[in-house]
Structure 1
Amino acid sequence: MILEHIVAKAIEENFITVVGGNWLMPPPSGKVRRLSLQGSDSKRSKDTEKMNLSHVRSLTMFGNLNSQLPSHSFKFGIVQVLDLEGCTGFKQQHANEICKMLLLKYLSLRRTDTKKLPKTIGKLVNLETLDIRETGIVELPNTICQLEKLVNILGGDKTTRVALKLPEELSRKKKMNSLRILSGIEIIGGSVDLHHLTELRKLAIYKLKTVGSDVSFKELISSIEYLGGYSLHTLIIVDESSEFLKSLAVLSTPPKFLVALELSGKMVMIPSWVTKLNVLNKLTLSVTALRTDNLEHLSNLKALFSLTFSFPFIAEKQDPETQTIIAQNKLCSDGKVIVRSGGFEKLKLVRFSAPLLPLLSFSKNAMPELERLELRFNMLEGLSGVENHAELKVVHLALVKKSGEKMTKKIASHIEAAVKKTGATTPRIILAP
């Protein structure tokens, strides 16, 4: 109802023109500046032919490109925003036509079936945001370095670990100094130099590869250390070999302005510099041992709001080293993982995800502000002390294997009984298959 009201008012003020989908709107009486094409009805394509599209500045499309908008219609001379997220039927001719939109500032090809960017993309000198996430594009042409106004490059696919290879010219000629977001990239070897990207706020590396015997990554480590003293506030590193994360453990100066950190790699102990991130509010650790001592080290992070430990559930991804780390989850405090009193002063959300979760024990006054606890597992060996969380509102138990449904119900009953004894408000317990 709210959406309908907003759309109706926007159309009334000639702020946006919506064609197709569930919207039955009268044709615009004036010039169309912001156009949203929804659905692939051929009748809707005819409706656009009756409109004055020579002043379109923003174009958002859904469905199939071929049936909605002929390729020649991409020659809108003043289009500044083009959002084709999720569109099918994307062809190379469309990419070539897009590269003629010289005033384009925002381009989203996310989840389209495009596989390559043409070299002529270097003509889009006004482009500020390029979103090519979840596409077949795995490499950027060298001409991308001509786009000096480019602020955001969003690429790769975090789920499938598909990453975007950067042009060598970016590092060699110190190009694109305005970049603030560089996400979903692949780094080969440690020779990449990002020192000149002093405006960078988010760096997300989805794949790291070594070249020959070079596993030092000195240049990359130096870049992260250097940028951490400027504006870098989000750092995501996915390292399946874990060689880079081992090298990163010796970081002498932590990126002190980080507010979000995600490290995915096989680690038993957390790097000591992580515990010095005083403004960090979101921390995600994948394939890092869930141990009492690791939690104790993190408890001093004063600003931490969200904490996640996760492990792969897919058997083929659990190599011997990963299985050893999962076993490490039980090797502290006689098979328990204890969250001790004190620390975690602002923590609101905790997520623990692993095939086998050890006995989790929350001491009194541990995580005093905790509001949501999420556990995902095949087997949970036990859970105690939940009644100690006065602010707890939701406990989410997600069982991957249906065969353990009785176990989750038993845990839920135990939580409810323990909370009732204290007289506190029982948190909402969600049992998810």
Structure 2
Amino acid sequence: MWGGWLPALGRKGARYILLIDDIWSVETWENIRNWLPHVKDSKGSKVIVTSRFQAVGAACSGRDGTDRLHTVNVLSEPKSKSLFDQGVSESQSNGSEKEKVHEEIWKYCGGLPLAIVTMAGLVACKDQSKTNDHYSKLNKLFPEQVARLTLEDVTKILDYCFNDLPADLKTCSLYLSIFPKGSKISKKRLTRRWISESFVTEKQGKSAEEVAEIYFNQLIRRKIIRPVDHSSNGNVKSFKVHDMILEYIVSKSSEENFITVVGGHWMMPTPSNKVRRLSMQSSGSKDWNSTKGMNLSQVRSLTVFGSQNGRLTFHSFNNRIIQVLDLEGWKGMKDKYLNDICKMLVLKYLSLRRTEVHEIPSKIEKLQYLETLDIRETRVEVLPRAFGQLKRLRSLLGGSKNPKKALKLPLEKNKEPMKALRVLSGIEINKDSAAIASLHQLTGLKKLAIYKLNIQEGDQLFKQLLSSIEYLSSCGLQILAINDEGSDFINKLDSMSTLPRYLVGLELSGKMEKPPKWIEDLNNLYKLTLSVTVLRTDTFQLIKNLPKLFSLTFTLTAGKDDRDIVDILEENKLLTDREIIVPPGGFESLKLLRFFATLVPRLSFAVTEEDVMPALERIDMRFQAFEGIYGIETLKSLQELHLSVGNQADEVTKFLVEELKDNANRNYLDDKYATKWPKIISD
């Protein structure tokens, strides 16, 4: 594999910096080094190699006396204690004796950050009265405290923390071994799979989704996983697993024959017994044959990673027992495979996301146990009538956000309601959507996301949809998103007689004239997205007292010739002397404010003795045309202002952006004003 690109480094006059991370053996390094150009030809270029093994480091520093070995020092005692205390801050006590016990525990970690934060996660999640138990057990593991832990010692600490997990959480953590090293993992992808594997079930009056959320947060608190991305409502969207923790989990999973990993980074022995859960992490065609010789008759979960084409013979598996089939991003997935997939009669989880699938066959009605169907970012445009027969389906995920595409519902209404459905996302509703007549029967629905809506006010469907949303809102609908392409439907939502009191997320996009007045009474609302056409001072007045509002977004993508949008924005500015003013007071919980629109009008934060958006930490703006933002230095909690300027921005917009950045830089140079201006980031 190295021969494909490393020789290019030796081209005449080429300079480079090459980072090769985490080499495990001297042999591997020597194979790489043979392809590198000689030091005399490097012209000041650098190769940086990292390894956890001292022998590799010695081998890397042995050529021509020009290589240097840098040993990374462990943390000092003060830094170790500080890192540990930070990790257990939620469980710190006032007693000096417990502080002393904490000190003894972090000293066993040898100054290694991974060991420190992992142990801190364990202590943070345990009853502090049992801290002495940790101390005595660690004392048996390490009779003598050492300045530097070996790899074996770190494994002992990971083993200790893993064995402390409750049984359900152990299983959920072992499941992480399905994912490749260094991958960014979707939280919802993981939790939905937990549920499909029956690792998470309803418990003590909580739904399976709520229990999965609790388990996921426990893994974060215990430092087994770390958040990477957050959604606009502040919740974790994706996460990663530290390489060394994942290595431990993969090894443990292999020992217990819990998950079998093929290809990828980990070189695990071929199982001698039956494979239960198979993770194919190969990226090249060579490794697709590495399942030869394995007994695949008992595989109940199959996951394929890698974007390259490869041949996968479903005949090797027992279709009668496969419960999870995750082919997300696999370019080898073709329509012809769906005939075999529809024979997997106990399938619970099916993800075809980002594959080349065009059509879902009517045979899908045979999958009577299916709970999750993910066909986002595929070429599937319409669902078959047989879709309505999936009575256990909990999540239907379709369409695409960028570019905006939507999934059409069946042309006929369902005879029997899909009462198990909790998430219906990415759908299109138009005059031919007869299935909308049975929407009100989905009384268990928690999320409804309509990516495209195009019906006329006089149509029967218009009344049916409005009535259905009102009824579902009274039944517990929590997230509602509607992208109205011109039907004027979102302007009729104010006529609803029942308050959608359970909503925690609301997104209304289109040519909205004014937001529904009932928004001001949504005391549980956490995330609100409104069309930029209602970007007015009175809109801020309407929503400023929402107690839990965390994220507020104004958005709309208008075409070049969409003069209606421009006219509406001009009228909005005339209401308040040609600028939008964010008034003081309220917004006690708001931390994220976003403006995603072709044109963002002049925006000013009121300068008064009363605080304006006192908790606001970040502003995001994406636009082609921009008329300026003023008063941001008065926002006491604001940390960052992100500006994304479109390629077609005019000179006035570019000038205003540069002026804003210059003002921020000048204030940073003056200590008197250094704390008043946020960091400004633009692209």
| TM above 0.5 | yes
CA pair 30-409 structure 1, distance change in 2 beyond 3 A: farther
User: Is the 2:633–2:678 contact (alpha carbons within 8 Å) kept by the matching residues of 1?
Assistant: no
CA pair 47-411 structure 1, distance change in 2 beyond 3 A: same
User: Is the 1:56–1:76 contact (alpha carbons within 8 Å) kept by the matching residues of 2?
Assistant: no
Provide structure 2 residue ranges, at least 5 long, that are not aligned to the other structure: 1-181, 183-241
Deviates more, 1:183-192 or 1:333-342: 183-192
Q: 2:656 aligns with which of 389, 395, 407?
A: 407
Aligned to 1:127: 370
Q: Counterpart amino acid of 2:627?
A: E
Q: How does 1:329-348 map to 2 (within 5 A)?
A: 329-348=572-591
Aligned to 1:12: 252
SS of the aligned residue for 1:267 comes to: coil
Q: CA deviation at 1:7?
A: 4.0
Residue by residue over 1:123-175, the C-alpha shift from the partner in whole angstroms, topping out at 9 and shown as x without a partner, is 11111000011111122222222221111111111233322222255x44242
Residue by residue over 1:63-108, the C-alpha shift from the partner in whole angstroms, topping out at 9 and shown as x without a partner, is 4686241242354432111111111132232101011111111000
Q: 1:324 aligns with which of 551, 563, 567?
A: 567
2:254 is aligned with 1:31: no
Aligned to 2:422: 180
SS of the aligned residue for 2:440 comes to: coil
Q: CA deviation at 1:305?
A: 0.6
User: Is the 1:193–1:220 contact (alpha carbons within 8 Å) kept by the matching residues of 2?
Assistant: no
Q: Counterpart amino acid of 1:106?
A: Y
Deviates more, 1:226-235 or 1:42-51: 42-51
Aligned to 1:386: 632
Aligned to 1:110: 353
Distance in 1 (alpha carbons) for counterparts of 2:480 and 2:429: 14
Aligned to 1:234: 479
SS of the aligned residue for 2:286 comes to: helix
Q: CA deviation at 1:186?
A: 1.6
Deviates more, 1:298-307 or 1:400-409: 400-409
User: Is the 1:339–1:366 contact (alpha carbons within 8 Å) kept by the matching residues of 2?
Assistant: yes
SS of the aligned residue for 1:249 comes to: helix
Distance in 2 (alpha carbons) for counterparts of 1:320 and 1:242: 18
User: Is the 1:396–1:431 contact (alpha carbons within 8 Å) kept by the matching residues of 2?
Assistant: yes
Q: 1:56 aligns with which of 284, 299, 302?
A: 299
User: Is the 2:632–2:677 contact (alpha carbons within 8 Å) kept by the matching residues of 1?
Assistant: no
Q: 1:42 aligns with which of 282, 285, 310?
A: 285
Relative to the length of structure 2, the TM-score reads: 0.59
CA pair 430-58 structure 1, distance change in 2 beyond 3 A: farther
2:623 is aligned with 1:377: yes
SS of the aligned residue for 2:441 comes to: coil
Distance in 1 (alpha carbons) for counterparts of 2:452 and 2:248: 45
Deviates more, 1:261-270 or 1:190-199: 190-199
Relative to the length of structure 1, the TM-score reads: 0.91
User: Is the 1:33–1:58 contact (alpha carbons within 8 Å) kept by the matching residues of 2?
Assistant: yes
User: Is the 2:667–2:674 contact (alpha carbons within 8 Å) kept by the matching residues of 1?
Assistant: no
Aligned to 1:202: 447
Aligned to 1:139: 382
Q: 1:425 aligns with which of 647, 654, 675?
A: 675
Q: 2:613 aligns with which of 361, 364, 367?
A: 367
Q: CA deviation at 1:33?
A: 1.8
Aligned to 2:162: none
Q: Counterpart amino acid of 1:411?
A: L
Distance in 1 (alpha carbons) for counterparts of 2:414 and 2:343: 28
Residue by residue over 1:23-51, the C-alpha shift from the partner in whole angstroms, topping out at 9 and shown as x without a partner, is 43332343322211123433322211122
Q: CA deviation at 1:377?
A: 2.8
Distance in 2 (alpha carbons) for counterparts of 1:143 and 1:348: 44
Larger relative strand fraction: 1
CA pair 4-112 structure 1, distance change in 2 beyond 3 A: farther
User: Is the 1:390–1:424 contact (alpha carbons within 8 Å) kept by the matching residues of 2?
Assistant: no
Q: CA deviation at 1:270?
A: 1.5
Distance in 1 (alpha carbons) for counterparts of 2:495 and 2:456: 21
User: Is the 1:408–1:431 contact (alpha carbons within 8 Å) kept by the matching residues of 2?
Assistant: no
Distance in 1 (alpha carbons) for counterparts of 2:251 and 2:277: 10
Q: 1:21 aligns with which of 264, 273, 278?
A: 264
Distance in 2 (alpha carbons) for counterparts of 1:357 and 1:295: 16
2:405 is aligned with 1:162: yes
CA pair 352-418 structure 1, distance change in 2 beyond 3 A: farther
Which structure has the greater CA radius of gyration? 2
2:604 is aligned with 1:355: no
SS of the aligned residue for 1:373 comes to: strand
CA pair 400-306 structure 1, distance change in 2 beyond 3 A: same
Distance in 2 (alpha carbons) for counterparts of 1:422 and 1:276: 41
Q: 1:96 aligns with which of 330, 335, 339?
A: 339
Q: CA deviation at 1:298?
A: 1.7
User: Is the 1:387–1:422 contact (alpha carbons within 8 Å) kept by the matching residues of 2?
Assistant: no
Q: Counterpart amino acid of 1:180?
A: R
Distance in 2 (alpha carbons) for counterparts of 1:155 and 1:215: 25
Distance in 1 (alpha carbons) for counterparts of 2:297 and 2:406: 37
SS of the aligned residue for 2:322 comes to: coil
Aligned to 1:298: 543
Distance in 2 (alpha carbons) for counterparts of 1:212 and 1:396: 39
Q: CA deviation at 1:313?
A: 5.8
Aligned to 2:310: 67
Aligned to 2:498: 253
Distance in 2 (alpha carbons) for counterparts of 1:259 and 1:172: 28
Taking every aligned residue pair, what percent have the same amino acid on both sides? 48
Deviates more, 1:223-232 or 1:54-63: 54-63
Distance in 2 (alpha carbons) for counterparts of 1:66 and 1:319: 42
CA pair 424-347 structure 1, distance change in 2 beyond 3 A: farther
**Number of residue-to-residue matches in the alignment:** 430
Provide structure 1 residue ranges, at least 5 long, that are not aligned to the other structure: none
Whose RCO is larger (CA < 8 A, sep 6+)?
1
Distance in 2 (alpha carbons) for counterparts of 1:98 and 1:396: 45
CA pair 405-247 structure 1, distance change in 2 beyond 3 A: closer
SS of the aligned residue for 1:361 comes to: strand
Distance in 1 (alpha carbons) for counterparts of 2:623 and 2:367: 48
SS of the aligned residue for 1:12 comes to: helix
Q: CA deviation at 1:426?
A: 4.7
SS of the aligned residue for 2:405 comes to: coil
Q: 1:281 aligns with which of 526, 532, 545?
A: 526
